[in-house]
Structure 1
Amino acid sequence: MNEKQLERIRNGQGFIAALDQSGGSTPKALQQYGIEPSRYSGDEEMFAMVHAMRTRIIKSPAFNAEYILGAILFENTMDRKIDGLFTAEYLWEKKGIVPFLKVDKGLADKEGGVQLLKPMPDLDDLLRRAVARGVFGTKMRSVIYEANSDSIRKVVKQQFEIGKQIWAAGLVPIIEPEVDIHSADKSESERILKEEILGELSALAPDVTVMLKLSIPSEDNLYRELMDEPHVARVVALSGGYEREEANERLARNHGLIASFSRALAEGLYDQQSDEQFNEVLADTIQSIYKASIT
């Protein structure tokens, strides 16, 4: 593990950019960017277009280490290059931004008010490739819809079991049990979730380091205790479907919690914009998310 990268994630000011829309969400991400499905044919063309979009974001002068600590990539992006360097290498060597990789294969069917992670039979191979490509950490997302204690325990247990496998491979796992923002009992789910996470953290070996990616809590500063836990390098928040302005507002009220936004980061960016327009919109977005992350 790169100690310089770990130090940056632990103590740096800024946020984590999520550029990890995968197969299922890629058409939606492209559509948001102004590229309709009629403009590409098949997966290869689709992924080439989304890589061009991400390359444009990453190479923008607005996308820099002054505001951005790290960036989460999709596997297909990790395997592609920017200016002759693999994307993760480009991020760190040219931009000083710490690279992460989304490793999950999507969500299992909803059961007991949650969606667990689908099986990941090729995870060890993927982790080896990630290490070889210069990736620092990983992330994987489960979803909680209801305040069902047994189901939430299953979600957290699964996340931490896989997290230990990731740590053993030389990477820092981002544990991401998202609580759906539309959940009728969101506050109760978050209270249960926090206790389950604290339980799993207390059982970790002393040398293990993880990160947490959580929905912005209904109760401000609920996750302060998790930020102070010695095993936790950083607690980051997903935008969860909130519009950027509302996500920033809620985030700013949670001291120490930093953003890891995906859809909210790309809001207002379009393929048809000139580089000047594109960079201006991206700069405004990044600065607004940064300000909300340093409270």
Structure 2
Amino acid sequence: MDRIGQMERTIARLTSPGRGILAADESYPTITKRLSDHGIESTEENRRFYRSLLATTPGVEAYVSGIIFFEETLGQKTDEGVRIPEACDRQGIVPGIKVDKGLTELPGTDGEKITQGLDNLGDRLDGYLEQGALFTKWRNVYAITPSTPSRQALETNAEVLARYAAIAQSRGMVPIVEPEVLMDGDHDMARCAEVTEAAQGAVFEALRRHRVTLECMILKPNMVLPGKSQPRPSVEACAEATLKVLRRTVPAAVPSINFLSGGQTSEEATAHLNAMNRADGPRPWVLSFSYSRALQNPVQAAWQGDPANQGAAQKAFLKRARLNSLARNGQYEPAMEQESA
């Protein structure tokens, strides 16, 4: 197998103009919470119907290049009996898979977290490849307090992310590397920038050490924002702070930076991405989206767990995807939010 060639083809598809990535990879507890917020029961059938609804939305392939799924979804089928990954591929959307196994406490720290799932990862990836997945995602998190993240947490998380990325590339699968600095807390934007720079700096040092091919990976970072309890600066100020960190830490060889939304509203996430793509200064990478809640919340609100609402839910998804596509090109205007789906 031509591993590099396969990854280059996948990268080309994922970074095609005007498109971004949907994260529909919520674990059982997370999807249960998200659906219950809209009064929807998290049954296997509801999850299948919902994720099939996303993957088969007519026209969304113009704005979405890839969808990250949870393991369960790779084996599920649409109402027409087509496996969901194949349904994506038919629309020109690349199917991907979340491969980490969630957070656990990092021993020797003050409650900091490490992500597990490296055991037997290669064997699992072989199975996911057979099911049609061509790219992968792994998320680590960093909480900001006056004393965290510690050096131990920064270095250990970076090592885990790099080992994951190297294993994924050994199978010809593009790794999305997600070092998320959480918004929880009362820190200011300068503190978020400091921690984000430290986390990303450690990650890229580890990626080089593990000989990860930077041209065949995607970075999925947080934006530089103050903690949730703090006033929100202008979108231009957040864009400037985020780009400053990225220019310091992310090599130009990395083809694409696809941001997570991290607790922002749908409108905030779109406006922040738009401001970064309008900002002055060098941007050697694609700046796009890999949102979960910011893309899906309006869809779930329209769907309400009722199959009769599938059309309305798909229209809501299409609108949100289109607005983020415009933001990827710096062409979004807040007035567009008032346009009909």
Q: TM-score per shorter chain, which class? A: 0.7 to 0.9
Q: Which residue of 2 aligns with 1:203?
A: 209
Q: Which residue of 1 aligns with 2:291?
A: 261
Give the deviation of 1:280 after TM superposition: 2.6
What is the SS of the residue equivalent to 1:12? Answer: coil
Give the deviation of 1:156 after TM superposition: 1.2
Q: Say if 2:45 is the partner of 1:48.
A: yes
Q: Distance in 1 between matches of 2:268 and 2:217?
A: 28
Give the deviation of 1:36 after TM superposition: 3.5
* CA 1:122–1:24: 2 relative to 1, 3 Å: farther
Q: Which residue of 1 aligns with 2:238?
A: none
Q: Give the TM-score of the pair, scaled to structure 2.
A: 0.76
What is the SS of the residue equivalent to 1:278? Answer: helix
Contact kept in structure 2, 1:71 and 1:99, CA below 8 Å: yes
Q: Which residue of 2 aligns with 1:16?
A: 21
Q: Give the TM-score of the pair, scaled to structure 1.
A: 0.87
Give the deviation of 1:3 after TM superposition: 4.3
Q: Say if 2:119 is the partner of 1:121.
A: yes
Give the deviation of 1:228 after TM superposition: 4.6
Query: How many residues in Structure 1 have an aligned counterpart in Structure 2?
Result: 284
2:40 corresponds to which of 6, 29, 35: 35
2:135 corresponds to which of 134, 137, 140: 137
Spell out, residue by residue over 1:137-173, the C-alpha distance to the aligned partner (whole angstroms, 9 max, x if none).
Answer: 1101111013433321211111101211111122111
Spell out, residue by residue over 1:185-228, the C-alpha distance to the aligned partner (whole angstroms, 9 max, x if none).
Answer: 32211121232133234435375622111111241313245565
Q: Which residue of 2 aligns with 1:65?
A: 61
Give the deviation of 1:287 after TM superposition: 1.5
* CA 1:264–1:32: 2 relative to 1, 3 Å: farther
RMSD: 2.3
Spell out, residue by residue over 1:31-54, the C-alpha distance to the aligned partner (whole angstroms, 9 max, x if none).
Answer: 2454136xxxxxxxx222111111
* CA 1:11–1:201: 2 relative to 1, 3 Å: farther
* CA 1:104–1:153: 2 relative to 1, 3 Å: same
Q: Say if 2:105 is the partner of 1:109.
A: yes
Which amino acid is the alignment partner of residue 128 of structure 1? D
Q: Which residue of 1 aligns with 2:274?
A: 252
Contact kept in structure 1, 2:105 and 2:111, CA below 8 Å: no
Where structure 1 has 5 or more consecutive residues not aligned to the other structure, the ranges are 38-45
Which amino acid is the alignment partner of residue 166 of structure 1? A
1:292 corresponds to which of 319, 327, 333: 327
Q: Distance in 2 between matches of 1:228 and 1:2?
A: 18
Q: Distance in 2 between matches of 1:11 and 1:61?
A: 18
Larger Rg: 2
Q: Which residue of 1 aligns with 2:259?
A: 237
Q: Distance in 2 between matches of 1:119 and 1:104?
A: 5
Q: Which residue of 2 aligns with 1:223?
A: 246
Q: Distance in 1 between matches of 2:271 and 2:10?
A: 28
Alignment identity in percent? 25
Q: Distance in 1 between matches of 2:82 and 2:309?
A: 25
What is the SS of the residue equivalent to 1:235? Answer: strand
What is the SS of the residue equivalent to 1:240? Answer: coil
